[in-house]
Amino acid sequence: MTKPHIHFYGKNFGDIFEIHNILSKCPEFDTTHDFYNTGEKTGSDGDFVITSHNTPKQYHGKVIHCQHGFGVASRVTYADPVKFKADYCTQYYALMLYGDQQAKDYTKVGFPENKIAVVGCPASIPLLEVTPKLKIKFFNSAGFNTDSKTVCYIPSWDMGTPRGLFALWHKDGKERIRVEKFCKFITHTLGCNLIIRMHERHRYSQDWGAKYNDIFKNYNVFFTYLDQQPSFNKALKYSDIFVGDYSNTNTYVYIMNKPIVHIGSKPLKRWANKNGGWPMEDRAGYITDDFNQLLKQIADSLEHPEKFSERRIEVVRKNIKYTGTDCIRPVISEFKELILV
Closest CA relative to residue 291, chosen from 131, 110, 167, 106: 167
Going by C-alpha positions, the residue among 269, 304, 270 that lies closest to residue 285 is 304
Average pLDDT over every residue of 37-48: 67
Q: Select from 246, 250, 201 the least CA-distant residue to 223.
A: 201
Largest CA distance in the chain: 67
- Of the pLDDT bands very low, low, confident and very high (cuts 50, 70, 90), residue 273 is low
End-to-end CA distance of the chain: 14
Q: For the chain, list the strands marked E by DSSP.
A: 5-10, 30-35, 48-51, 63-66, 92-97, 116-118, 150-154, 193-198, 222-225, 241-244, 260-263, 286-288
In this prediction, residue 44 has a pLDDT band, given cuts at 50, 70 and 90, of low
Q: Compute the distance between CA of residue 242 and CA of residue 309 in angstroms, rounded to an integer.
A: 14
Answer whether residue 38 shows pLDDT above 60. no
pLDDT of residue 78: 80
Distance, in Å, from the CA atom of 55 to the CA atom of 9, rounded to the nearest integer, reads: 8
What angle separates helix 291-303 from helix 175-184, to the nearest 10 degrees? 20
Average pLDDT over residues 222-228: 86
Residue 199: the pLDDT is 86
* pLDDT at residue 216 in the model: 98
- pLDDT of 106 > 60? The answer is yes
Strand order in the sheet with 30-35: 30-35, 5-10, 48-51, 63-66, 92-97, 116-118
The pLDDT assigned to 341 comes to 62
**Burial letters for 115-142: b for 16+ Cβ neighbours within 10 Å, e otherwise?**
ebbbbbbbbbbbbeeeeeeebeebbeeb
Task: Indicate yes or no: pTM above 0.85.
Answer: yes
Q: pLDDT-derived band of residue 289, with 50, 70 and 90 as boundaries?
A: very high
Q: What is the mean pLDDT of residues 237-244?
A: 95
Q: Please check the confidence at residue 115 and state whether its pLDDT lies above 80.
A: yes
pLDDT band at residue 319 using 50, 70 and 90 as cut-offs: very high
Lowest pLDDT segment from 34-48, 77-91, 117-131, 135-149: 34-48
Low-confidence winner among 7-16, 175-184, 211-220, 309-318 (lowest mean pLDDT): 7-16
pLDDT of residue 150 exceeding 70, the answer is: yes
Residue 76 pLDDT level (bands cut at 50, 70, 90): confident
Average pLDDT over residues 115-134: 92
Walk me through the domains of the chain, giving residue ranges and CATH numbers.
5-124+323-339 (3.40.50.11820), 132-319 (3.40.50.2000)
- In what helix (H) or strand (E) does residue 99 lie, and over which residues does it extend? none
Share of the chain above pLDDT 90, in %: 59
Where is 209: in which H helix or E strand?
helix 208-211
Residue 259's pLDDT is: 97
> Average pLDDT in the 152-165 region?
86
- The pLDDT, as a whole number, for residue 322 is 97
Radius of gyration of the chain (CA): 20
Distance in angstroms (rounded) separating the CA atoms of residues 140 and 194: 14
pLDDT tens per residue across span 166-221:
989 998 999 999 999 999 999 999 999 999 999 888 888 889 999 999 999 999 99
Query: To the nearest whole number, what is the mean pLDDT of the chain?
Result: 89
Whether 282 and 318 have beta carbons less than 8 Å apart is answered as: yes
Q: What is the mean pLDDT of residues 97-108?
A: 93
